[in-house]
Amino acid sequence: MGTQRYGSSPSVSDAEADAAREALVRVIAARGALTDPAWRTAFAEVPRHLFVPFFYVHGVRGYERLRGEDPDPERRSRWLRGVYTDEALATRLKDGELVSSSSQPSLMALMLDALGVEDGHTVLEIGTGPGYNAALLAHRLGDPAVTTVDLDPEITDAARGHLAAAGRHPTVVTGDGARGCPARAPYDRIIGTCTLPSVPRSWPEQCRPGARIIAPLATGLVSLRVRGTAHGPRAEGHFLHTPAYFVPLRGAHPVGDSLPYLGALPRRVAGDDLFRFLLTLSAGALDPHEALSLWEREGRPQRERYGVTVGRGRQWAWLDDPQGPYTWPLAAG
């Protein structure tokens, strides 16, 4: 075993970790992400295994924990392979429920590409998780430019340790992500890594004009541009093409898979990902049969045709046009 450059488990050599990370970068690039060379360098140089010293997988008897310090070499090998597989990893459970994870790397790369950061930008991340995404942002922009927030002090404490082990020191704040972090505002970019029922109003309010917000909403990723108006900031934009499933923002009503109306709908649409996206996005605002009629009439619209507008005191989702015939309210942010 080689000398430990990263301060990780003594059972993981530099050569093993480097080779696994290089292979992961090739997989992510092959899936169409990492179009910006700066992000490719960040993924190539930030060691994910420092941020996931253990994770949980489904076993025959429930969850099984794999860790880098396991005395069994086969289990250590499974841990390292898992860390550098292009998959989301469950990193924290509470009462059998997933409360934190390390997101799928190719999805992280897609979101970071879409964020469109430039040198000198400041970024607020909502949902620290194990700290890996914050480390990638800090690698790209520098530690002082990055603020990351999570509600759970155990999560933020662990993330600080992981970040320090990787030589990164962005600002890690324990707090309610729905409130942003006004003390460090204004921001040029906000990125959410937890599913939202709506966009918190505080986020656009803490942005500079021209800022961009990328966040999971329903089962998609919305990309919003922020501009100033006489009535305060307004954020508006379309969804990206990709599906996205994240741990819900803590304290918010969960969205996504818990759709009670599916049993009353035709079987041919109940399992359709694009219809489930519309049904989730419009839950509580559109009758499910009304949503089905819209979906069929408009030719099974892709995610990119939908969008969200966040204005003063209200926000709404829409198909094709924020002032068009197909709009519905979202919960107040």
Share of the chain above pLDDT 70, in %: 91
User: From CA 93, how far away is CA 152, in angstroms rounded?
Assistant: 12
Q: How large is the C-alpha radius of gyration of the chain?
A: 20
Helices (H) and strands (E) in the chain, counts: 10, 14
Each residue's pLDDT tens digit, 289-326? 888 999 999 999 999 999 999 998 889 999 999 999 99
Look at residue 265 in the predicted model and tell me its pLDDT.
73
Rounded distance, CA 263 to CA 252, Å?
25
Using omega within 30 degrees of 0 as the cis cutoff, is the peptide bond preceding 186 cis?
yes
In DSSP terms, which residues pair with 182 in a beta bridge?
Answer: none
Catalytic residues: 100
Residue 72 CB: number of other CB atoms within 10 A? 11
pTM: 0.91
| pLDDT for 71 beyond 80 | yes
If you classify domain 14-193 with CATH, what class do you get?
alpha beta
The torsion angles phi and psi of 319, rounded to 5 degrees, stand at -115, 120
| pLDDT tens-digit readout, 112-159 | 999 999 999 999 999 999 999 999 999 999 999 999 999 999 999 999
The mean pLDDT of 282-290, rounded to a whole number, is 85
Mean pLDDT in residue range 228-235: 88
* Residue 300 to residue 252: CA distance in whole angstroms: 29
pLDDT for 254 equals: 47
Residue 3: pLDDT band (50, 70, 90) is: very low
In this prediction, residue 63 has a pLDDT band, given cuts at 50, 70 and 90, of: confident
